[in-house]
Structure formats: structure tokens, C-alpha cells
Amino acid sequence: MQPPILLTDEQMQQYIVDGYLVFRPSVPDDLHGIIYEKLNRIIDNEVNPGNNVLPRVPEMRHILNCPEVRGALISVLGPDYLEHPHRFCHPLKPVEEVPSPKEREERLHKNCHQDGYTPLGHPRHHRSRYARIMYYPQDSPEEIGPTHVIPGTQYNTGLSDEDRERAMPVAGEAGTVSLTHFDIGHAAGVSQLKRHRHMIKFIYVRASEPTEPTWASADTTWRKPTSIKSAHDLDHVWSHCWDWSCGKRDRYESLKASGPDPSDALDTLIENLKPSVDLETQLSSITKIATHSERAAPAVDSLVRLLDDNGHKALRVASIYALGAIGEPAIDALVDALRQAGQREASNDPPSPWSEGAILMNDTAHALAAVGPAAISSLVTLLEQSEHEWTRINAAFALGELDSHATEAVPALVDCLSDGSHRVVRTVVDALGNIRSSVPIEPVARMLSVDRSGWDTDELHRWWRPVDQIHTSAATLFAKWGTDATVVETELTTALDDPCGHVGSFALNALQRLGTPTADRAALDFLMSQRWDASIDHERLF
């Protein structure tokens, strides 16, 4: 295998800002035609193979293994990234009647969305933890309806009409690949052509927290790209995500290095947060407030008021990371707001921001995670003492966002594995997977086969049940941990037969990473029995 081609600092900065990059894999040109023809036959004659599209068209592995795709994934997710079992071919069939420009525009707007997670919901996230590869095996000019992206919307909770107006086509020749943040807004284009169009997506997951840049880094200083497609300037949000990706322990190092402009009076900046002030002035004032760090404590109440449903989506994310930059003086107000959010959701089952497509965690949880280690003891108190499920879920999520910084929260999180709420347990398993350090294996291993009242009978989404997601989350955790999971080899081998295919897929990955002869044998035995003969189709069964 050729060595991966890693992203440059500039490409990483562009990815953090706009949420996507486009490139062409260096594979033989005729490969795309072979894949295209095969997909045409499948889409015309068979049921869409769904997650099985890769074994159905295994030639696509050459795209996924090429130096450009591997290099891009290593750059944004780290060298030990995991392949998610969800993949999908999104086909557009040849059109019979060309839609009018007005109809095309309306359909494109309607198609705009952020993806749901699978098998069940997972929190939307700002940092680079999930990424998507989109591949076109055919020439994809705008007329064939390539996927559109909405730059910068990976930090959004939902899409506005203003966002939908900005959807832009990722057009290109056969073989074009785009790398996108999982949560970016996007849309299927509308074809005007009498030939097939396919977009095949593949999902990847970060396995471990960044401790150093994993791209071809020459300089870890944050630099705003010269050309930005995102609608709003969120410099302090981007520099925070950059510092996290660089593995800096202080995720505001870049912001502090630039420091506040002495000519900006804090009082005036706070005054600018009033709803009557125009959006761009509010946003630039928030960025300037963030540069004042803890000295901007008087801005806390005004910023907290902009969180959650009250503000414009860009104001919300700007406020989250300004509160994070203020740090300790923001903690009490954020904790209070999170308590109140739990109280408001107490009579909703599930809490209203919890969807089994994607979970919209409270803005206060993102802000407490941005504050960093200073917020840990308050988050642990919420986790241990709050009677409200939604508050406990958000506290667990925020702790998980701190990765190994939150090691001291491990005992409290482990206690929550006995919670009766599958939503709490799912969030806690994810958090422990991120924290990794000092997590006892045995209570987490029990989550590979756990079952509690209602968890195996309540179908939540696409006929998946709570146990399916909890077992998947536990198997994912062990796949992330690599050789740290050696003592659970037997449980992982048993998990290969879980009725939910996602569990077996992650357990297989976990076994593969253990590297023991017995784990290798179990993994290979499973794979050999699952081996798919891609030369068989609906007309030729043997």
C-alpha cells in the first residue's frame, strides 16, 4: 500500500472552517467506469444494497485505500480511525422529463438536511469525531445533480432558509471525492440528464483524542484561511477546534496568543449583544469578548441568553465558545441553565432535543466542555445529583467531550452505567470511550450484552431497539481502545453474533486490533463465513 498523502495546515484550516474538502484519488481511471457500470446494474435490477454496498462492489475499496483518502482521514480523525458499518449508494435514475429551473430550486431546498446517525441517534458534535467520504464514479457536472454542501453548517443545530440558499454543488470528473464533517448540511442535487448518477457515502469515526497534529503540519499557529465559504466569521470557534485537533491541552492557546485589542471597551462590546444590533456586529463583538478571557466575566449573562433556542445559529455557536474562553466565571451560570433545561424537559419522554436520528445536546453542555477541566467537578455534581434525565445526559456528554482531561469523572460515569435510562447509559458509554484513561473494563464489557426492562422491546427508529445501540456503543468503545481491550476478547467474539450487524462489525474491528492469534482467528472465521461473492447477481445465482 502506498503511503498516505496527509493534508497540509491550510487544508486542515479550510476543513475546520468550511466543513469539507474536495480531491481526486490516484487510482487507475478505468476503475470508476467499472464501478459505475456495476452500480447501474444493481440499481436497475436489485434492491439498494444499503450498508452492504461495499461487499457488493468491492472494487470501491481501492478508492477508500488510496493515499489521498487515507491521508485525509488520518489528518482529520487520527491514524487509528474506524470504518463505520453504515455506507450507502444514493442513486439518481436517468430523468424522463427535465424539471424546470424553479422546480429544481424548490427540490434542492427541500433536499437540504443534516444526516442522522445509525443504528440510533448520536449527539451532533463540533470537533472532528465523525467524517464522511462521498464518492462519484461518474463525471458529475452540475446538470447531473451532484451532492450540494452548505459550508460552515457543521456547527449548526438545524438548517435555516438562509443556509439552504447557500447550498453549492460539489461537481467534478469521475472519481471526485469529498471529505465532509458528518454534521454539515447537504442536499442531493436534481438531475437533468438521461443517465445514472451515483454518490456513495462512507462514514468514519475518530478512535482516540488528538495529542499532536496528524496531518503534514509545519506550524501549529491558527491561521484563518484567506478564502472562506462559511457565511459568518467564527474565528474563536475555529481556533478552538484547531487547538483541539493539534492536541493542545489549552484549547484557547491560539486565542490567548492574539490577545484583546486595547481599543475595544468591554462595556461597548456587551452593549452590542442586544437583539436590536445587527448580526455581524453582534458576532464580531462576541469574538472580541472571547479575547478578553476571564476578564469578560460581566458578559456571561448576556452570552448565556443567546444560547439554545433564543439566538441565530451563528450567535449560539459563537456564544458557546466565548463562554468557554471566559472559563471559570461562566461555570455557575451555565450549570444553572443546564439544571433549568433538565427541569423544562422533565415531563417529555424522550426529552424534546433527543431524536433517534441525531441528538441536539444543550448549548450549555458544549460551553461547559469548552471551559475545560475547571468545569469537571460541577459536571460530576450534576451527573450524581440531578433528578432530571436530560441534565444527566448533558453532563455526561460534556465530560466525554473533555477526553482524557476528564479522568477524575470516571467513577461517577461508571456508576451511571446502572441507570435505568438507556439514553443516559448510551451517552456515558460514549463518554468513557473518549476518556479512556483509568476506565475499568469489566463494567463497560457488561454493556456488550446488557438488557434492561423495555430495552429489547421498544423499537425506536428503523426497527432498532435501545439494546442495539448500547451494544453497538460498547463494541465501538472497544474497537477504539485497541490492545487495551485484550481482556474482553471472549466477549467480543460472542458479540460477532449479535442480531444487530453494527455490533458484529465493530466487534470484528476490535478483535482485529487486539492482534492476538486467537482474536485474528475469530475475526477471520467470521469474515470467511460472511464472504460475499460479488460476481453473483439476480440472474446468476451460482
Nearer to Fe ion, 137 or 327 (CB): 137
Minimal distance in Å, beta carbon 132 to Fe ion? 8
Nearer to Fe ion, 39 or 467 (CB): 39
CB 363 within 8 A of CB 320: yes
188 CB-side CA count, 13 A: 16
Taking the C-alpha atoms of residue 238 and residue 15, their distance in angstroms, rounded to an integer, is: 10
Nearer to Fe ion, 115 or 163 (CB): 115
Closest CA to 79 of 204, 178, 220: 204
Nearer to Fe ion, 115 or 183 (CB): 115
Nearer to Fe ion, 183 or 235 (CB): 183
Q: Is the dihedral of CA 494, 203, 414, 388 positive or negative?
A: negative
Nearer to Fe ion, 115 or 401 (CB): 115
Closest CA to 15 of 172, 170, 184, 199: 184
Minimal distance in Å, beta carbon 117 to Fe ion? 11
Q: Is the peptide bond before 49 cis (omega within 30 degrees of 0)?
A: no
Nearer to Fe ion, 124 or 236 (CB): 124
Minimal distance in Å, beta carbon 90 to Fe ion? 7
Nearer to Fe ion, 115 or 468 (CB): 115
Nearer to Fe ion, 140 or 319 (CB): 140
DSSP 7: P
Cell of 78: 487520527
Minimal distance in Å, beta carbon 218 to Fe ion? 34
172 forms bridges with which residues in the sheet? 140
Cell of 180: 465532509
Nearer to Fe ion, 187 or 367 (CB): 187
Minimal distance in Å, beta carbon 346 to Fe ion? 33
Residue 255 has φ and ψ, to the nearest 5°, of -65, -45
Minimal distance in Å, beta carbon 186 to Fe ion? 6
The helix/strand/coil state of 342 is: helix
Taking the C-alpha atoms of residue 348 and residue 342, their distance in angstroms, rounded to an integer, is: 10
Tally of helices (H runs) and strands (E runs) in the chain: 24, 8
Minimal distance in Å, beta carbon 84 to Fe ion? 14
Cell of 463: 426497527
Minimal distance in Å, beta carbon 87 to Fe ion? 12
- Please enumerate in sequence order all residues whose Cβ is within 8 A of that of 103, keeping only pairs 6 or more positions apart, or say none: 190
Nearer to Fe ion, 68 or 115 (CB): 115
Minimal distance in Å, beta carbon 88 to Fe ion? 8
Minimal distance in Å, beta carbon 430 to Fe ion? 22
CB 372 within 8 A of CB 328: no
Nearer to Fe ion, 83 or 115 (CB): 115
Q: Is the dihedral of CA 220, 225, 231, 234 positive or negative?
A: positive
Q: Which residues of 424-460 are buried (b: 16+ CB within 10 A; e: fewer)?
A: bbbbbbbbbbbbbeebebeebbebbebeeeebeeeeb
Nearest-CB residue for Fe ion: 115
Taking the C-alpha atoms of residue 355 and residue 251, their distance in angstroms, rounded to an integer, is: 30
SS3 content of the chain, % helix, strand, coil (to 5): 55, 10, 35
Minimal distance in Å, beta carbon 200 to Fe ion? 12
DSSP letters for 465-477? -HHHHHHHHHHHH
Q: Where are the alpha helices (DSSP H) in 292-328?
A: 300-305, 313-326
Minimal distance in Å, beta carbon 180 to Fe ion? 10
Element (H, E) at 370: helix 363-371
Nearer to Fe ion, 111 or 160 (CB): 111
Minimal distance in Å, beta carbon 149 to Fe ion? 10
> How far is the CA of 1 from the CAs of 59, 66, 135, 252, in angstroms?
15, 8, 20, 38
CB 34 within 8 A of CB 27: no
Nearer to Fe ion, 12 or 134 (CB): 134
Interacting residue ranges for Fe ion, rule: CB under 5 A: 115
- Please enumerate in sequence order all residues whose Cβ is within 8 A of that of 517, keeping only pairs 6 or more positions apart, or say none: none
Minimal distance in Å, beta carbon 144 to Fe ion? 17
Cell of 135: 464518492
